[in-house]
Amino acid sequence: MPSAPQNPHRLHVAIIPDGNGRWAQRRGRPRSEGHRAGVEAVRRIIEAAPGLGISHLTFFGFSSDNWERPSGEVETLFGVLREFLLTEAAGWAEQGVRARVIGRRDRLPAALRAAVASAEETTAAGRAMQLRIALDYSAREEILRAATRFYTTLEISQEAFGQILARVSHAGEEFPDVDLLIRTGGEQRLSDFLLWECAYAELHFSRKMWPEFGVADLEAALREYHTRQRRFGRLPEAAAG
């Protein structure tokens, strides 16, 4: 059974930044402008996160199911992501942020794969915060691929499976379980995101479209999180003890 975090002020926050396209369409703009505005929201949240007690931050950038979207939109989104990684990596390195991309890489365009490798190399020494961006990611597929390797291990435990899961997703190292999952855009579902790591996550759903989500909204979500009693299946007094 998962144990309560040793330091409740160092958190793993996962974010599903939903609503970029709808934000743009409501303003009579192309969906591509929504993705660009969404990148700006990601930038400000990453900048603020370490100061708010967040030690691990995971964004859902592109689902494996998103390949079903129009090819032009997918191409535009990949271009925005590539530009974002190339532009931000040096600043992340200065801030002590280590960036990694999880998910499949074999189907990503070569230029985006190169940007991923460059960002990971540039930020490899970061210790202030661990940042993950999920691209071509499916939690179900990740768990399935880990399971095909797990039967050969000599240790049968959740910890051992978590280590294999980290290897197959390119995480490099095992991340702690998610403490708080935030989803914007008014939808209330996980959408195949971090299913293993979110087993005991607290969930926060915002009706704001992602480009509208700011640092004040993140602070509000964290304040709400700190009011919740995390029991991990125990009775309240046992969790407190």
Distances (CA, A) of 198 to 71, 87, 95: 31, 30, 27
* Residue 125 vs residues 18, 46, 72, 175, 212: alpha-carbon distances, Å: 30, 17, 36, 17, 32
Using alpha carbons, select from 24, 43, 157, 140 the residue that is nearest to residue 99: 43
Q: How far, in Å, CA of 229 to CA of 94, rounded?
A: 36
* Active-site residue, 65 included: no
66 tagged catalytic: yes
Question: What is the 3-state secondary structure of 76-93?
Answer: HHHHHHHHHHHHHHHHHH
Q: Which of 7, 18, 65, 217 is catalytic?
A: 18
Backbone dihedral region of 194: left (phi > 0), alpha (psi from -120 to 50 degrees) or beta? left
Residue of 7, 20, 65, 66 marked catalytic? 66
Q: In what order do the strands lie in the sheet with 11-16?
A: 97-102, 129-137, 54-63, 11-16, 180-183, 202-205
Tell me how far CA of residue 143 lies from CA of 20, 95, 147, 168, 187, in angstroms.
28, 32, 6, 9, 24
Cite the active site residues. Answer: 18, 66
